[in-house]
Structure 1
Amino acid sequence: MRLIATYNDDYFKEIEKIITSGSSFPYEYYNIRFETFDGSTYSSYNRKHQLKYTLIDTSTINNKHAMSRFIHNLYYKQSEPEIRSKISHEFRELTEKFSKDMYDVYSMNKSDSEYQLELDVQNNSDFSEDITAVKNGVRLCDAGKGEQVILSVIANNDGESKGETVLLIEEPENHLSHNNMQVLIQLLENTIGVNQTIIATHNSMIATRLDVSKILMLSKSNDKIQKLENISSETANYFKKAPNNAFLEFVLANKVILIEGDAEYILMEKFFEILSGHKPFEEGISIISCNGKSFKRYLEVAKKLNKKVVVITDNDSDLRHNQNYVSVSENYRDYISDFCKVYCDLIEQNYTFELSIYNNNSELLESRFKNNHMTKGLLSYMLNNKAEFALKLLVLLKEDNGTNFQIPNYIKEAVKWIRD
């Protein structure tokens, strides 16, 4: 739906006078119009589109309607029509008898009021309205919030909805464990009985598993709604299948530094702080670690969004003997632009991050970290214990803020470019 508010030209002078006088806003002089997605007028008098919707707000989940609907459907699936008729009849007789008995007991101590109380049995023909369901000894109304979120989706996924129905779900990730999140995703993928499902989420798994090409992205750093409807199917499938991807962090960040490996991720924030005097997030920059083979997937998304991204990677010159070897500049030729740069160590023998660190700081590192247990030397230890060594180096950098430490030039250049 679109809400359009426009002032009435016939009252322009009155509106101008009220606004310039500083009085309250003259909304009485404005016309309100609703339109549907195709631009047609929508009103209570002409409902060409019978817009029906169901809202599941997981931040305040207490959906009695959804619970009742789930129990109602469960009851009708587990019982035959003749059994339901018999149950309803006996239930009505039972409640009428109880009402009479209650009235007799109540009458023994009734007040002088002209009103007397009795059980309302007028609408007790549907037995399903007065029952609940129990799972592992716990009534559904007492179930955890995560269970209620899933039940709310199941209840609105029965295929019995009539008319044009929209299912609105606010942050379905609330209250859900990782496994239950996957259960919910499967339910949403197989949604029936609705024409459209609209989900508001901050969760990368929810966003990517349901097809990134259908995402509408809203960010306070950009006043436009951004879409990825033309993204390649290969990239869409990558984010759908990739574990622990940082898709939403990537698309919502102002700028991004892409790195590969745990060691780079552990140290990059401190390198950035030493070089700039600020934390990356203070400048709207996110650092995201991903497998080097997935850089191109993120860069394709960045290209669609004109997002400024820098890739910091190894030069992999040790692989030159491989017949499939492709240089870094050649490998990313289709992505390098004003919005995207790729940096690696230009010194050929520094083919990986640890070698660049060591060859720029060998004396400092040998004096600080080498011990007798490193029988093959410090560099061998660094290459075979990358994350562990990175944590040790981080402690050193925090002690003196990297006063005597030389950050490799290619990292300096990458940080300078992303900050410009």
Structure 2
Amino acid sequence: MNQSFCHNQGMITRVKATNYRCFQQLDFEPNEHVNIIVGDNEAGKSTILEIIALVIGGRARGRWAVDDLNPYWFNQAIVKHYVEEHRSGQNPDLPLIDLEVYLSVNTPGSERLRGIHNSNGEDCPGLRMRIVPDPDRLEELAEYLRHENLPELIPTDLFMTDWRDFSGEKITRQPRGLGFATVNMNTVSNSSGVDYKLRQLLRDFVTPQESALIALEHRKARADITSGILGEVNNRIEAEGESFGVGLQMDQSANANWDVSVTPHIDDTPFSLLGHGRQVATKIALSMSRSAERTQFVLVEEPENHLSHTELMKVLDSIKSLSGGRQLFITTHSSFVLNRLGFDALHLMHNAQITPLAVGAISADTIKYFQRQSGYDTLRLAIAGKAVVVEGPSDEMIFNLAFQRLTGKDPRACGIDVIALGTRGKRALELAKALGKKIAVLRDNDGEDPSHWRTQAGDLIQSGQREMFIGDIAGGRTLEPQLFSANDETTLRDVLGLAADADVLDYMLKNKTESAWVISNSGQQLNWPTYIIDAVAFANVN
């Protein structure tokens, strides 16, 4: 694991979920320090962060779970299956939601949470939230279930949240001493839209004594306004007659607490009027600046959103330098974020299943390489169903064209991502091996026999799974002479629109990308070098 992050004082050891949103079953064992969760849209990345926040803090998106509970919390495939069985006259068990967060015994604030009341029967600290039928409304639920044609929705108005620690004790608030910070990349455009978590971050800097004093002064100020200037207004309203006792008062309810009325500012500018990038960077800085004793866990959702490249570099450096003993959970669509924070921290999400990178699967040298070459498209390679890695844009265009001509299909339609990664095919093979990905690497022979490059790759090559395709020396060092050798010179001259006295191969070598572009758009049938034909055949096999 990335050594730039300090030893963790306590950690989440496991996250389990049953029937929650996209997860029918989730069993996630995070890394001790950094966890970078990647995957396609709707794969379940953000839902993992939501589960952690919900089970530890009792809130979903800033709202108490009991207030936010709705039918769409339940996994829709499970609900559909239940309803189909019910309609067919069977008596299936109602789907229930079960969420658990397991903690290490050295986690501050977890001593009182230890017990065996978890689905594993394990003696450890932790928290569990279940969504179950409300015992006070079982008769209503039974009557509802007597109907034959139920809608494909769970009647959550008849359900309740059962929130307990692993000792079996019910809890109603986030356990004291067990802290986490959630940083989403949402931005706000008005003061009322400042999200709950930002207010919570700021309020944590206020001591209980200061909070009580602020609340007192705030109530007194509202009372003074009510009895003062509003008193005069109310007298005029009453004097008009037929007012039915209506008057104006400052709101003294919980909706008018001081922390709702106080608006965050930076350099005298309201937070809501800051640029999106500044808002995002500020929220992350506030989360990371708090002491590790108060925030053992930090949940960051897509830190790249709204940030320029320069600002993103600053934010990532801040995360690394201020992480302290925290355990980090980060979702991202950015290879830069993944490489910068450490590819060895990757967890790949696909179809609501999570696959961690095996310990030691990536060499320390490659991890450092990615961190220094942060533009390497590791995330695209990680998410691809099947990958074909080529050296440059001309190779990419020619392979795509050859695939279309030889198979009648576009590579993308077959779940194949063709990626140009320069001369770093061996790094790509290492990643593919670690991720269990099928990959074809095409590279120039550069004057060496193909066996030379395959020998260098060693056990990174696996027949039928990870292959390297290289043109024979007789065909030339690079793609262009390989194409030239496989085709009639007159045909290439016509395709490229060259004069009769032009040197076709010289033109192709000096104009690689332009030549590939013209060939790709010509509609002319060409012969393909053997190594490209072999690569197409390999990639096209399911």
Deviation at 1:20, TM superposition (A): 9.5
What secondary structure, in the 3-state scheme, does the structure 1 residue paired with 2:231 have? helix
What secondary structure, in the 3-state scheme, does the structure 1 residue paired with 2:365 have? helix
Give the Cα separation in 1 of the matches to 2:320 and 2:539. Answer: 38
CA 1:68–1:161: 2 relative to 1, 3 Å: farther
Deviation at 1:286, TM superposition (A): 1.0
Query: 2:353 matched to 1:287?
Result: no
Query: 2:277 matched to 1:133?
Result: no
Counterpart of 1:410, as a letter, is Y
- Equivalent in 352, 365, 368 of residue 234 of structure 1: 365
Q: Which residue of 2 aligns with 1:156?
A: 287
Q: Which residue of 1 aligns with 2:452?
A: 327
Q: Which residue of 2 aligns with 1:42?
A: 127
The more displaced of 117-126 and 171-180 is 117-126
What secondary structure, in the 3-state scheme, does the structure 2 residue paired with 1:58 have? coil
Give the Cα separation in 2 of the matches to 1:328 and 1:103. Answer: 88
Deviation at 1:182, TM superposition (A): 2.0
Deviation at 1:167, TM superposition (A): 2.2
Q: Where in structure 2 are the equivalents of 1:375-386 lying within 5 Å?
A: 377-386=503-512
Q: Which residue of 2 aligns with 1:58?
A: 185
What secondary structure, in the 3-state scheme, does the structure 2 residue paired with 1:109 have? helix
CA 1:130–1:309: 2 relative to 1, 3 Å: closer
Deviation at 1:169, TM superposition (A): 2.4
- Equivalent in 462, 465, 468 of residue 337 of structure 1: 462
Give the Cα separation in 1 of the matches to 2:99 and 2:203. Answer: 39
- Equivalent in 290, 300, 304 of residue 173 of structure 1: 304
Deviation at 1:166, TM superposition (A): 2.5
Deviation at 1:219, TM superposition (A): 1.7
Give the Cα separation in 1 of the matches to 2:340 and 2:332. Answer: 12
Q: Which residue of 1 aligns with 2:93?
A: 26
Counterpart of 2:514, as a letter, is E
Q: Which residue of 1 aligns with 2:490?
A: 363
Deviation at 1:267, TM superposition (A): 2.1
Q: Which residue of 1 aligns with 2:540?
A: 419
Give the Cα separation in 1 of the matches to 2:386 and 2:257. Answer: 62
Give the Cα separation in 1 of the matches to 2:224 and 2:97. Answer: 58
Structure 2 alignment gaps of length 5 or more: 1-14, 20-81, 105-121, 129-162, 168-173
Give the Cα separation in 2 of the matches to 1:223 and 1:92. Answer: 51
Q: Which residue of 2 aligns with 1:296?
A: 426
- Amino-acid identity (%): 22
The more displaced of 326-335 and 345-354 is 326-335
Give the Cα separation in 2 of the matches to 1:25 and 1:147. Answer: 52
Counterpart of 1:22, as a letter, is G
Q: Which residue of 2 aligns with 1:105?
A: 233
Give the Cα separation in 1 of the matches to 2:265 and 2:419. Answer: 45
Structure showing greater radius of gyration is 1
What secondary structure, in the 3-state scheme, does the structure 2 residue paired with 1:117 have? coil
Contact 1:212 1:228 in 2 (8 A): no
Give the Cα separation in 2 of the matches to 1:96 and 1:20. Answer: 59
CA 1:148–1:375: 2 relative to 1, 3 Å: farther
Query: 2:375 matched to 1:308?
Result: no
Structure 1 alignment gaps of length 5 or more: 6-14, 77-81
- Equivalent in 171, 195, 198 of residue 329 of structure 2: 198
Greater RCO, 1 or 2 (C-alpha within 8 Å, sep 6+) = 2
Counterpart of 2:517, as a letter, is L
Q: Which residue of 2 aligns with 1:406?
A: 527
What secondary structure, in the 3-state scheme, does the structure 2 residue paired with 1:148 have? helix
What secondary structure, in the 3-state scheme, does the structure 2 residue paired with 1:173 have? coil
Give RMSD over aligned pairs. 4.1
What secondary structure, in the 3-state scheme, does the structure 2 residue paired with 1:342 have? strand
- Equivalent in 312, 318, 342 of residue 211 of structure 1: 342
Q: Which residue of 2 aligns with 1:258?
A: 389
Q: Deviations over 1:99-153 (max 9, x none)?
A: 4123223322247444643335899997996354255x85311334333222221
Contact 2:389 2:439 in 1 (8 A): yes
Q: Where in structure 2 are the equivalents of 1:1-20 lying within 5 Å?
A: 1-3=15-17
TM-score between both structures, scaled by the size of structure 1: 0.77
Give the Cα separation in 1 of the matches to 2:354 and 2:198. Answer: 38
Deviation at 1:212, TM superposition (A): 1.0
Query: 2:519 matched to 1:393?
Result: yes
CA 1:237–1:19: 2 relative to 1, 3 Å: same
Deviation at 1:337, TM superposition (A): 1.4
Give the Cα separation in 1 of the matches to 2:292 and 2:435. Answer: 37
What secondary structure, in the 3-state scheme, does the structure 1 residue paired with 2:517 have? helix
Q: Which residue of 1 aligns with 2:41?
A: none
Counterpart of 2:183, as a letter, is I
CA 1:127–1:266: 2 relative to 1, 3 Å: closer
Q: Which residue of 1 aligns with 2:379?
A: 248
Contact 1:370 1:378 in 2 (8 A): no
Q: Deviations over 1:269-319 (max 9, x none)?
A: 111111111111111111111121x212111111222322111111111x7
Q: Kindly tell me the number of residue pairs found equivalent between the two proteins.
A: 389
Deviation at 1:188, TM superposition (A): 2.2
What secondary structure, in the 3-state scheme, does the structure 1 residue paired with 2:418 have? strand
Counterpart of 1:356, as a letter, is Q
Give the Cα separation in 2 of the matches to 1:55 and 1:242. Answer: 29
CA 1:120–1:188: 2 relative to 1, 3 Å: same
Contact 1:259 1:290 in 2 (8 A): yes
CA 1:47–1:118: 2 relative to 1, 3 Å: farther
Give the Cα separation in 2 of the matches to 1:162 and 1:113. Answer: 55
Give the Cα separation in 2 of the matches to 1:37 and 1:375. Answer: 76
Deviation at 1:185, TM superposition (A): 1.7
Contact 1:360 1:407 in 2 (8 A): yes
Contact 1:72 1:129 in 2 (8 A): no
Deviation at 1:327, TM superposition (A): 2.4
Q: Which residue of 1 aligns with 2:115?
A: none
Counterpart of 2:349, as a letter, is L
